[in-house]
Structure 1
Amino acid sequence: MREDGEKDAIAHGGDLDAARRLFPDAPEPWLDLSTGINPVPYPLPPLEASALHRLPSPGDLARLKAAAAAAYGAPGPDHVAAAPGTQILIETLPRLLPPARVAVVGPTYAEHAAAWTRAGHDVRMVDDPAEAAEADILVAVSPNNPDGRVFSVEALAQAGRGLVVLDQAFADLEPVEAASPRPGLVVLRSFGKTYGLAGLRLGFALAEPDLARRIETALGPWAVSGPAILAGLAALPDAAWRREAAAARAQDAARLDRMIARAGGRIVGGTALFRTADFPDGPGLFRALGAAGIYVRRFREAPARLRFGLPPDKAAWCRLSRVLR
């Protein structure tokens, strides 16, 4: 169901076209807090013009995979499949495997269950990994979206009797265990969320070399653009920036928690990049925010619940504060 009520695909954050349909009289520009993307992007150096003029070479891709392996703790570049965003990896992996019983730990990012279902697998939702004993494949997001739950890698490995797919899209700026690929474990990592560069479309699957090769073969040649490769080569080795961003976003998240509490909200989860809260009148607050040109994420199955991304600057913080007061 779309945010505007039309029957369609799964609703996602960032759909300002839907926001404008819902609130046609809202002031522009919109303040989009409906995603969990770092609002302070990585300061990319100027991109070489050749990145737009030529096709990426195998050497370019190899260097990107080596940088990703070093940043994410994979044994080597042969354990890395680079892709134009993690969404395409979520879509591709189920098509590479024979029909199986799949357990998805939820509630979570809805595209996981949808992708396995579209590929012909028998999918069921479970509340806890321990409930997946009969499944051949276990899918979990950690930290989870939208509640921020964290699952230990060992607990997931023990719960899954076959393949474990671990989506760590929100792990980079969190004090959580970074999972390294090993037999029976595939890890998905998002570049765009961490570095605030979602429009570049870059993500990675960390897997055993055979599966990593199968994923890249399915994606085809030149799946990752030249500009995205250069961005990854600049940002992934910059561990100091990631540490500073993690500390700054944690402070922002704590500030947002205080604002939400003053507005009568009860924090029910989140990460350093988004906060999820229940309100006495969630639908009413959603409408008030929308009328002020502020778009947040709502949940059809939990009307009291709203998810807030982080404002990017002082003016945006003040704008949100005025409505929450």
Structure 2
Amino acid sequence: MSALPNMANPAGKPVEHGGDLSAVRRRFPDAPLPWLDLSTGINPVPYPVPDLPRDAWARLPAREQAEALIDAAAHRYGVADRSTLVAAPGTQALIQALPRLVPKARVCIVGPTYEEHETCWRRQGHQVSVVATLDDARDADVVVLVNPNNPDGRLVPVERLVAAARLLVVDEAFIDLLPAAASLAPTLPPRTVVLRSFGKTYGLAGVRLGFAIAGPDIAAALRADLGPWAVSGPALEIGRVALADDAWLAATAERLTADRRRLDEILVSAGFTIVGGTPLFCLADHPEAASTVDRLGRNGIHVRAFRQSPRRLRFGLPGDAASFDRLRTSLT
């Protein structure tokens, strides 16, 4: 098994993420306001939150509310057996829970990728390797794959995602806007867990909502680990309405596809080479990436840099014409 060097932070040290403006504001105190945060892969035009009934705030979530959310998620993700769906307060909670539920194992994570996977498996004492390809993970007990990958957008076809390991974990956080056939959720193979994020595509990361699709044993273990009332009443209601809104998702996919093309054109004009991405973000290469981060920061624009790949930057999508123009001007 050929392993890549460990490029994540030690398990005891917090992983760096996009979306935290506190540090960048301190670094560039004179930057113009408001900040334009392009450091995440979150839809910048969120789903319009409906008016919520008072009970959503005032009462503990009812079983009927939770079941209605699961019905909506089953519809959205093409899941026939709703008993395989587990709702959680964000996929991060599921990423942290899974390593607690699995006996000590040899874990291969196909990367570089979202670093929380490696951190969480290491924290629970598993033997973890980051490998370059799925083929390099053949001998593992547990294989973890982000599909499409963050940050490069690599997509592994579903026919290759067979449960060659004792457990296959596929994080589909950015798959909502791809063809339905790209997802494992509708045809869940044995010994497989699929993770789906709500907040990224729907632009409502603060709601903290995510799902696991898993076989009966793992699904039951996750529910027990999360405990009662894992998802808040407002999140249950917002998720139910949004996941059932087919028309909004179709229109959003069309808009984001056009916006991604527009972003690519701006970056290429500024001397970047596009190396990957998804409809929600672009990974681009530039020999002067570090100085570009500084220039953008002085202009109140935050993008995602990577210590292990100093030439590469990840750009989320601007949310309107003025933001696109601001980025274009700051790069010239």
Q: TM-score range by the shorter chain?
A: over 0.9
Spell out, residue by residue over 1:109-166, the C-alpha distance to the aligned partner (whole angstroms, 9 max, x if none): 00001111111111001110011111011100011000000012221216x3221100
Alignment correspondent of 1:162: 166
Alignment correspondent of 2:77: 72
Corresponding residue SS for 1:124 = strand
The change in CA–CA distance for 1:179 and 1:196 in structure 2 (over 3 A counts) is same
Spell out, residue by residue over 1:215-237, the C-alpha distance to the aligned partner (whole angstroms, 9 max, x if none): 01101111100010001110111
TM-score scaled to structure 1, two decimals?
A: 0.95
Task: Answer whether contact 1:62 1:77 (CA < 8 A) is retained.
Answer: no
Alignment correspondent of 2:105: 100
- Identify which of 154, 168, 175 aligns with 1:171: 175
Letter of the 1:223 partner, please give it: A
Q: Compare 176-185 and 27-36 and name the one that shifted more.
A: 176-185
Identity of matched residues, %:
53
Corresponding residue SS for 1:318 = helix
Letter of the 2:111 partner, please give it: G
Alignment correspondent of 1:25: 30
Corresponding residue SS for 1:157 = coil
Tell me the CA shift for residue 44 of structure 1.
2.3
- Identify which of 278, 283, 286 aligns with 2:290: 283
**Long gaps (5+) in structure 1:** 1-6
Corresponding residue SS for 2:182 = coil
Task: Answer whether contact 2:114 2:151 (CA < 8 A) is retained.
Answer: yes
Letter of the 2:27 partner, please give it: L
Letter of the 1:249 partner, please give it: L
Tell me the CA shift for residue 8 of structure 1.
4.5
Alignment correspondent of 1:323: 330
- Identify which of 241, 244, 254 aligns with 1:237: 244
Alignment correspondent of 1:249: 256
Task: Answer whether contact 1:116 1:123 (CA < 8 A) is retained.
Answer: yes
Alignment correspondent of 2:207: 200
Tell me the CA shift for residue 193 of structure 1.
0.3
Alignment correspondent of 1:4: none
TM-score scaled to structure 2, two decimals?
A: 0.93
Letter of the 1:13 partner, please give it: G
Alignment correspondent of 2:8: none
Alignment correspondent of 1:222: 229
Tell me the CA shift for residue 209 of structure 1.
2.1
Task: Answer whether contact 1:73 1:178 (CA < 8 A) is retained.
Answer: no
Spell out, residue by residue over 1:231-262, the C-alpha distance to the aligned partner (whole angstroms, 9 max, x if none): 11101111221121111101100100000000
Corresponding residue SS for 2:68 = helix
1:89 equivalent in alignment to 2:87: no
Counterpart-to-counterpart distance in 2, 1:311 and 1:186: 32
1:269 equivalent in alignment to 2:269: no
Counterpart-to-counterpart distance in 1, 2:189 and 2:303: 37
Alignment correspondent of 2:45: 40
Q: CA RMSD in A?
A: 1.2
Letter of the 2:54 partner, please give it: A
Counterpart-to-counterpart distance in 1, 2:254 and 2:243: 17
Counterpart-to-counterpart distance in 2, 1:133 and 1:178: 21
- Identify which of 148, 153, 156 aligns with 2:158: 153
Spell out, residue by residue over 1:295-316, the C-alpha distance to the aligned partner (whole angstroms, 9 max, x if none): 0000001111110000011221
Counterpart-to-counterpart distance in 2, 1:235 and 1:193: 13
Alignment correspondent of 2:6: none
Tell me the CA shift for residue 74 of structure 1.
1.6
Corresponding residue SS for 2:211 = strand
1:213 equivalent in alignment to 2:217: no
Counterpart-to-counterpart distance in 2, 1:156 and 1:36: 24
Corresponding residue SS for 2:266 = helix
Q: Compare 173-182 and 118-127 and name the one that shifted more.
A: 173-182
Counterpart-to-counterpart distance in 1, 2:80 and 2:142: 23
- Tell me the matched-pair count: 318
Alignment correspondent of 1:185: 192
Counterpart-to-counterpart distance in 2, 1:103 and 1:294: 35
Letter of the 2:170 partner, please give it: L
**Long gaps (5+) in structure 2:** 1-11
Counterpart-to-counterpart distance in 2, 1:75 and 1:174: 20
